[in-house]
Structure 1
Amino acid sequence: MRSTHNHHGLDRQTLLKTLILFGLGLYFIWNIASGNVVNYINTRFVWLSYVAAVLFLLLALSGAWNLLRSRRHEDAGAGDHDHRHGQMSWPVLALVAVPLVLGTLVPSRPLGADAVSGNVSLSVTGATTTDFTIPPLSRNVLDWLRVFSKVSDYDEVAGEPADVIGFVYREPDFGEDRFMVARFTVSCCVADASAIGVPVIWSGTSELQSDDWVRVQGQFVVEEFRGERVPVLKATSVELVEQPAHPYLYP
């Protein structure tokens, strides 16, 4: 009677698998409801989180049904049935549980200055004529870098007004009055995230903290930054702001 030997162990596996799947389903629902899902993926793919939540909950319900059916068989005396089909091993269960444990213990937050690996990029690719039709004061950091990549001479953008939002990024060699207003671009998920930014001249730079979210208003000038002449935003106003609901920009 194999089930007499294995039945309780298999029941524990099924119960644990059901709880993990139920927890993953609730975790996805919580991330969607709280808005934290945009800390991980491009908004174009948020619908996949809804699909994942539904699938995990359906699998959890299936596991719960199997547990109830197993109990009924046991009560009916069907003790010679082998319940091993469809069971996960303990290592597999542990692996499935890792995302749930990490997601629960590690606070959700978007990438910021401390996640920058190397330099913040001053250039992007993929500019279109549409970027030039966006009014200057409506362009974000990504829009401006696309414009810069298409002009034949940076002097063409000198004097252009700008109003952008991003986080403060600084390196020791920037100078006392300079920082970058930066954002991360995300094509699919944070695994492909890339940091981009616009150099800023501001007399109050020393008062800003790395990772502060700021709104910068001013006009572009062409000056040397990191050893090359590039458009630099000469700020007339820098104010602290709340982190945007969608912290990433999407190419």
Structure 2
Amino acid sequence: MRRYGPALLLVLVGAAILRISAFSALYLRYVQAGLRPYLIVSGAALVLLGIAMAVVRRSADDAHDDDGDPLDHEHGHAHHGPRVAWLLTLPALALLLFPPPALGSYSAEREAAQRAAQGVGVFPALPAGDPVELGVGEFSSRAIYDSGRSLKGRTVRMTGFVTHGDDGTWYVTRLLVSCCAADAGTSKAEIRGADALPADTWITVTGTWHPKGKLGTDAAWPPVLDATSVERVEQPADPYEKR
């Protein structure tokens, strides 16, 4: 059985990739939606490669058995690799059986409040009608950099998860990605006028922008939302916002 270890490992990894991409939306915890076809192709290729390796190995074993030469038989079965190599199957089994969750409050709180340099300017007008649906990242950008004050007098609604500050403040937070979870950055808005909920609770919050600080400065970060309603919701299938 140890001779088939590499083939089994390839099949397990491929099956795990197919499980999270072809048969569910779990891949959205780790990468952008546009990468799904590449994951499916990669997973299928690994499964097929593992099966092909097992078939080739089986054929070689049958050939040795039919040959009947004890020297060849001994040579063909003497080297199997270290037993510890089987530990390589554990990560594949873990991904197959217990996919890791999406990044949450721990990742968000570990990131320093550093934001890409962005000049103050006029943003496009918001759609008519209140409340207007905004991503946490867009709300934050408009609150900090929009000289046209497009948020003024508007009711907005955002969805994200709860994080807590050291001073008792709490935030609606969302992680922003360009490609995958490895490049995730944090965007958040302080919530005022509502009781804090446990960290990592997903919520939809409705309220109005509370201006603070000078535009484009650290004093304006993080932006503030005066909440009129906070509703618990299920984690969305895609937990990240796109940068």
Normalising by structure 1, report the TM-score. 0.77
Tell me the secondary structure at the aligned position of residue 19 of structure 1.
Answer: helix
Contact 2:135 2:159 in 1 (8 A): yes
Which residue does 1:41 correspond to in 2?
31
Pick from 74, 89, 109: which aligns with 1:97? 89
Q: Identify the match of residue 222 of structure 1 among 211, 214, 220.
A: 211
Cα distance between partner residues in 2 of 1:209 and 1:120: 21
Indicate the SS of the match to 2:132: helix
Counterpart AA for 2:160: G
- Partners of 1:246 and 1:114 lie apart in 2 by 18
Counterpart position of 1:196: 187
What is the CA deviation profile of residues 181-222 of structure 1, one whole-angstrom value per residue up to 9, with x for unaligned ones? 1011122221111121111112322xx111110000011111
Gaps of 5+ in 2: none
Q: Return closer, same or farther for 1:209/1:138 CA change in 2, 3 Å cut-off.
A: same
* Aligned mates of 1:90, 1:133 — CA distance in 2: 64
For structure 1, list consecutive stretches of 5 or more residues without a partner in the other structure: 1-10
2:194–2:230 CA contact under 8 A, matched in 1: no
Provide the secondary structure at the position in 1 that maps to 2:161. Answer: strand
The answer for the alignment partner of 1:163 in structure 2 is: 157
Q: Give the TM-score, by structure 2 length.
A: 0.79
> How many pairs are equivalent?
230
AA matched with 1:138: E
Q: State which of 50, 59, 62 in structure 1 corresponds to 2:52.
A: 62
Q: 1:186 aligns with which of 177, 184, 189?
A: 177
Deviation at 1:78, TM superposition (A): 6.3
Identity in percent: 25
The SS at the match of 2:212 is: strand
- Matched with 2:67 is 77
| Residue of structure 2 equivalent to 1:137 | 132
> What letter matches 2:55 in structure 1?
W
Q: 1:29, CA displacement in angstroms?
A: 1.5
1:240–1:55 distance in 2 versus 1, CA, 3 Å: same
